Amino acid sequence: MHALDALDRSHFRKIVSWNLLRRTGAKVDAIVALVERERPDLLLMQEATKDIAVIEERLGGVYAWAPLPGRIHGLAMWSPHPWASPPVVIALPSGAVVDRVCQILDFGEFGVANVHLSHGQVLNRRQLRRIEQSLPARAAVIGDYNLVGPALLPGFRDAGPRIPTHAMVDLVPLRIDRCLVRGLACLGRTVLPRGASDHRPIVVHLGPAPAQAGERTVRGMAALVVRLRRATARARAAARARRPSGGRPSSSA
């Protein structure tokens, strides 16, 4: 049986992430249309302005906005279902121009971090490491990474679409909207038309992953070591019990 066949699909959630392109990009009507078409369990947005909050009136559900310090835009989350608690906002290592934050949501069986990282290729990897410190064992980091090349985040794997999501100056296609996961399986991933934004939305279907074969092997080896140590200890105890009272082992002449 394939590993994915054993998954409980009822625990999987559809997540959409979209960089809206501030005031000149995707507007409220476009977001409402996307939600009504895709029916996500969670919508993550980057470069969302205060005007986007009206989607809570249009769509219902719950909404949270975290503006970047000193900027008109920031990160936003929307869900059709109530959250156990609102997203937590954490500060990230800052660049020379823009201070960055991250939204982290307890999404039940796993955590979700909504990100819009810096352009500096060393700095944005430092920001990922800072985010990782605030995440549970099962987690996803999704959003605009502004990243070229591998993320280099230990314990996480790239589960997002493998095609470009953004065209730099409308010329160079880049895959900067990504999804890294730890302890999660991905049942599906795709990229949607970009619409009025300069980014294409990404879609991932995420849920708890079963124990990996490697993890089972490590646990099995650890249990074997424990059994061997116990057996060795019992053998030594038995050997000491067979010794004469003088403390030396008996000799067989």
- DSSP of 45-57: EEEEEGGGGGHHH
Q: Give the pLDDT confidence of 79-123 residue by residue, as tens digits.
A: 999 999 999 999 999 887 889 999 999 999 999 999 999 999 999
C-alpha separations of 213 from 3, 11, 139 in Å: 10, 21, 20
C-alpha separations of 251 from 149, 235, 242, 244, 247 in Å: 69, 19, 12, 10, 12
* H-run or E-run covering 29: helix 28-38
Sequence-separated (6 or more) residues with CB below 8 Å from residue 30:
195, 196
Question: In this model, does residue 208 exceed pLDDT 50?
Answer: yes
127 touches 93 (CB < 8 A): yes
Q: Give the pLDDT confidence of 50-86 residue by residue, as tens digits.
A: 999 999 999 999 999 999 999 999 999 999 999 999 9
pTM for the full predicted model: 0.81
Mean pLDDT of 217-243: 61
